[in-house]
Amino acid sequence: MGSTQLPPGTEESLAATTALAAAPGEPTEMVQLLGPDGALGSDPIFSDYAKRIDPEKLRVFYTDMARIRRFDQEATALQRQGELALWVPLTGQEAAQIGSGHASQPQDYIFPTYREHGVALVRSVDLAELLKQFRGVSNGGWDPRENNFHLYTLVLAAQTLHAVGYAMGIQRDQKAAAATESSDPKAAVIAYFGDGASSEGDVHESMVFAASYNAPVVFFCQNNHWAISVPTEVQTKVPLANRAKGYGFPGIRVDGNDVIAVHAVTEWALEHAREGRGPVLIEAYTYRVGAHTTADDPTKYRESAEEAAWREKDPLDRLEKYLRAEGLADEAFFEQVKADGDELAKYVRSTTHGLEVPDIRDAFASVYAEQHPLIAEELAWFEEYSAGFESDQEAAN
Amino acid sequence: MATMTIAKAINEGLRATLTGNPKSLLMGEDIGHLGGVYRVTDGLIKEFGDDRVLDTPLAESGIVGTAIGLALRGYSPVCEIQFDGFVYPAFNQITTQLAKIHARSLGKLTVPVVIRIPYGGGIGSIEHHSESPEALFAHNAGLRIITPSNAHDAYWMIQKAVECQDPVIFFEPKRRYWLKGEVDVQNPGLSADPFKAHVVREGSDATIVAYGPLVPVALAAANAAVEDGRSIEVIDLRSISPLDFDTVEASVKKTGRLIVAHEAPTFGGIGGEIAARISERAFLHLEAPVIRVGGFHMPYPVAKVEEDYLPDIDKILEALDRSLAY
């Protein structure tokens, strides 16, 4: 009875997915293709998707993961030196972000949280722009329409609803396009969030809406095990991927430190969504190796042994092992990657120093899209007030 | 000219919007086949289909949050929140997201979402169905807040709200839904600008400012004051944010006395804001302190005593007496 009420296509998808989350209490299968030892395994569904990744693409994955890790180190250093007010490190989550980001197509639209620096890199956002928010010179920084990469959202999970609404818009656009036999490529949306945010009501509502309207959206949850100081067990008693079942769409847990599996699973999910078969939840099982932010102190709430165990599963190390073992990259490649990373760090550092401090008049100008008398009145007062200082200054001179 | 109720005028305004703007759509709880609990969207799903008139899941944050996403994709969603007291689950989406997206993107993104909220008391309803939360939204920059008091305004202001590139909260005076009036569907006249206050009755001895459901009450009080030989000016504010202080100021400079009436509690309310601004702009023109007539500092009371809570003709006349005797 229940299954007959599922959205079209879901039943087949559910059956086709080996890694569907198990019922509460049952062990949940996790899709893993590249193990920590650098050996490539197989999966009845996702190996076919992994085969699409050619050696050049694998080297790009490695390069991007290394670049974003180097960027993360540089940004952390910039914060320590007082150049940034705060930094939100991503180290440990590179595979989850680079793998999923590369699975997206230009026409797809991404709604990040505030830690998706790796996805931003893949979407060609200027990383120096990304630092504006953390330097206190902008609340956004980039034009989301240029790369279909939305601004960071700091209010947890709020963006998951925006993602579903955006996907509902895509649905309508595609319906209109079909009527005119347009050849625009089909699009989907990715909504990023974390294990902590999974407890927010907006995640629930977004999944309800997505399921009801069969919206082309992929919910990409990076379970990094810690919501600041609170472990995932406090957020959920079942694997997060299992929750999808309750909404009537597929849920997949993937090894979030395995860039090949993440890419394969996300590509599958995006195709599923683009083809009108509805939403998918991906739980990327990963670990936040560093602090929540530079204001956090993980030694207060977790054991270093746990961190050490996760370092053994490092996403870069395992891909390096694989590339070397398969002869897909030589020493010169890795040296070049390191040099590129240092170059990026240098660029980011110098650009950060040069980030222009905005004028508060820009803030007045952007509150409303249309003319607003109170804004005009307060700006006029501010100009007059500021001019008073200037004339005092002139008098003193 | 056509005679219609405010509810019908909004319905016709929405119909005109859906007809003229292919990117506009309606979303809310029970707004489709039922036509909304007040039937404001009656018949629209039949005419425009369920891609444009969406019966949503029962989740206010979900309605506003997905509307934001639709707006980011280029749509103009009009959300209905079923009752004033149920808007709070969406408060986070409205204040932290909807109000700020234009500012935080430095104007690169616009989110032209309209949120319709039936508000106010006087209908003998149960808890959470009679509130006036406009001040909570007025405090948030980035939002516009308007409220019609008559059918002609209702017809045109809802259309102007959808045309506006800023998010607009459209408060509908629910106890006036059945108030009939003349609507000129060809010519908006003064209703073309939804953000300007209207002087709806001219007078010389004192000014009453009201909006939404209290405009007819203020007019009735002004008419009653004629018996005492008083000439009272009445302003229908229409827009709460932005607030047309110029029109209020000009009136006060003429009459020297100001009463502000609203159903919402006076503490921290719109009346206090008007009193403060007018004292700044027209202090030497004031013959008496600005007096507020509004709700008490309590949760909206039970229906059987709401008449004691709501501003009525007598409360406004009492305030006028105090002002004129000062």
CATH code of A264's domain: 3.40.50.970
Which residue, among B274, B304, B294, B156, has the nearest Cα to B207 in the 3D structure? B274
Q: Which amino acid is at B303?
A: A
DSSP line for B109-152: -----EEEEEE---S---TTSS---HHHHHTSTT-EEE---SHH
Verify that A76 and A7 share a domain, yes or no: yes
Write down the pLDDT at residue A141.
81
Residue entry with tokens 């159903």? B263
Cβ B165 vs Cβ B110: under 8 Å: yes
Residue A205: count of CB within 10 angstroms of its CB: 26
Nearest residue in A to B94, CA atom: A158
Residues of A marked as catalytic: 288, 292, 301
d(CA B215, CA B209): 8
Max CA pair span of chain A: 85
The two structure tokens encoding residue A24: 């509460």
Confidence of residue A184 (pLDDT cuts 50, 70, 90): confident
Return per-residue pLDDT of chain B as tens, 326 residues.
899 999 999 999 999 999 999 999 999 999 999 999 999 999 999 999 999 999 999 999 999 999 999 999 999 999 999 999 999 999 999 999 999 999 999 999 999 999 999 999 999 999 999 999 999 999 999 999 999 999 999 999 999 999 999 999 999 999 999 999 999 999 999 999 999 999 999 999 999 999 999 999 999 999 999 999 999 999 999 999 999 999 999 999 999 999 999 999 999 999 999 999 999 999 999 999 999 999 999 999 999 999 999 999 999 999 999 999 99
Confidence of residue A26 (pLDDT cuts 50, 70, 90): low
| pLDDT tops 60 at residue A25 | no
Verify that A255 and A392 share a domain, yes or no: no
CB contact under 8 A, A368 and B166: yes
Cβ A33 vs Cβ A43: under 8 Å: yes
Verify that A149 and A242 share a domain, yes or no: yes
A187 to chain B, any CB pair closer than 8 A? The answer is: no
Tell the CATH superfamily of the B2-192 domain: Thiamin diphosphate (ThDP)-binding fold, Pyr/PP domains (3.40.50.970)
d(CA B20, CA B232): 41
d(CA B88, CA A352): 40
Verify that A149 and A235 share a domain, yes or no: yes
Residue entry with tokens 């106010």? B120
Nearest residue in A to B106, CA atom: A366
A165 contact residues in B (CB cutoff 8 A):
65-73, 77
Write down the pLDDT at residue A28.
67
Residue-range domain boundaries for chain B: 2-192, 198-325
On the 0-12 / 13-18 / 19+ scale of CB atoms within 10 A, B308 is exposed
How close B160 comes to chain A (CA, Å)?
13
Answer yes or no: same fold for B2-192 and B198-325: yes
A150 contact residues in B (CB cutoff 8 A):
72
pTM for the whole structure: 0.95
Verify that A342 and A376 share a domain, yes or no: no
Contact residues, A window 189-208, toward B, CB-based 8 Å cutoff: 201-202, 205-206, 208
How close A374 comes to chain B (CA, Å)?
7
HSE value, Cβ hemisphere, 13 Å, CA-based, for B120? 25
Verify that A365 and A347 share a domain, yes or no: no
| pLDDT tops 50 at residue A5 | no
Give the total residue count for chain A.
397
- Give me the mean pLDDT over the A330-342 stretch: 97
As its CATH architecture, domain B198-325 has 3-Layer(aba) Sandwich (3.40)
Contact residues, B window 3-42, toward A, CB-based 8 Å cutoff: 25
Contact residues, B window 78-117, toward A, CB-based 8 Å cutoff: 89, 92-93, 96-97, 100-110, 112
Cβ A67 vs Cβ A59: under 8 Å: no
DSSP line for A6-65: SPTTHHHHHHH-TTBPPPTTSPPP-B-SB-TTS-B---TTHHHHHTT--HHHHHHHHHHH
| pLDDT tops 60 at residue A312 | yes
Cβ A284 vs Cβ A259: under 8 Å: no
B212-235 pLDDT, tens digit per residue, is 999 999 999 999 999 999 999 999
Write down the pLDDT at residue A12.
52
Give the C-alpha distances (Å, rounded to integers) separating A362 from A371, B99, B113, B136.
14, 17, 23, 25
Mutate which: A146, A168, A356, A371, vs B, most B CBs within 10 A: A168
A177 contact residues in B (CB cutoff 8 A):
none
How close B223 comes to chain A (CA, Å)?
32
Give the total residue count for chain B.
326
How close A189 comes to chain B (CA, Å)?
11
Verify that A349 and A388 share a domain, yes or no: no
CB contact under 8 A, B75 and A172: yes
CB contact under 8 A, B110 and A165: no
| pLDDT tops 50 at residue A136 | yes
Q: Which of A4-18, A129-143, A261-275, A347-361 has the lowest mean pLDDT?
A: A4-18
Confidence of residue A183 (pLDDT cuts 50, 70, 90): confident
Write down the pLDDT at residue B167.
98
CB contact under 8 A, B65 and A372: no
A369 to chain B, any CB pair closer than 8 A? The answer is: yes
Max CA pair span of chain B: 59
The two structure tokens encoding residue B178: 């059945």
| pLDDT tops 60 at residue A349 | yes
d(CA A76, CA A70): 10
B177 to chain A, any CB pair closer than 8 A? The answer is: no
The two structure tokens encoding residue B273: 């804001």
Residues of B marked as catalytic: 129
A145 contact residues in B (CB cutoff 8 A):
108-109
- What sign for the dihedral angle of Cα B36, B41, B43, B49? negative
Domain membership of residue A71 as a residue range: 2-354
Q: Which amino acid is at B258?
A: L
- Give me the mean pLDDT over the A79-99 stretch: 96
Q: What is the ipTM of this complex?
A: 0.97
CB contact under 8 A, A367 and B106: no
How close A150 comes to chain B (CA, Å)?
10
Residue entry with tokens 């989550």? A93
Q: Which of A311-320, A386-395, B252-261 has the lowest mean pLDDT?
A: A386-395
HSE value, Cβ hemisphere, 13 Å, CA-based, for A15? 5
- Our count of domains for chain A comes to 2
- What sign for the dihedral angle of Cα A328, A329, A330, A331? negative
How close B111 comes to chain A (CA, Å)?
9
Residue entry with tokens 């016709």? B12
- The distance in angstroms from the start CA to the end CA of chain B is 44
Verify that A227 and A371 share a domain, yes or no: no
ω into B242 cis (within 30 of 0): yes
B248 to chain A, any CB pair closer than 8 A? The answer is: no
A370 to chain B, any CB pair closer than 8 A? The answer is: yes
Percent of chain A with pLDDT over 70: 93
A209 contact residues in B (CB cutoff 8 A):
56-57, 59, 62, 66
Verify that A166 and A25 share a domain, yes or no: yes
B238 to chain A, any CB pair closer than 8 A? The answer is: no
d(CA A265, CA A192): 15
How close B305 comes to chain A (CA, Å)?
36
HSE value, Cβ hemisphere, 13 Å, CA-based, for B32? 14
B61 to chain A, any CB pair closer than 8 A? The answer is: yes
Verify that A77 and A181 share a domain, yes or no: yes
Decide: helix, strand or coil at residue A235.
Answer: helix
DSSP line for B50-93: TTTEEE--S-HHHHHHHHHHHHHTT-EEEEE-SSGGG-GGGHHI
Nearest residue in A to B111, CA atom: A369
Verify that A284 and A148 share a domain, yes or no: yes
A·B CB contacts under 8 A: 139
Write down the pLDDT at residue A220.
98
A107 to chain B, any CB pair closer than 8 A? The answer is: no
Confidence of residue A8 (pLDDT cuts 50, 70, 90): very low
Please work out, in degrees rounded to the nearest 5, the angle formed at the alpha carbon of residue A241 by the alpha carbons of A236 and A243: 65
CB contact under 8 A, B144 and A368: yes
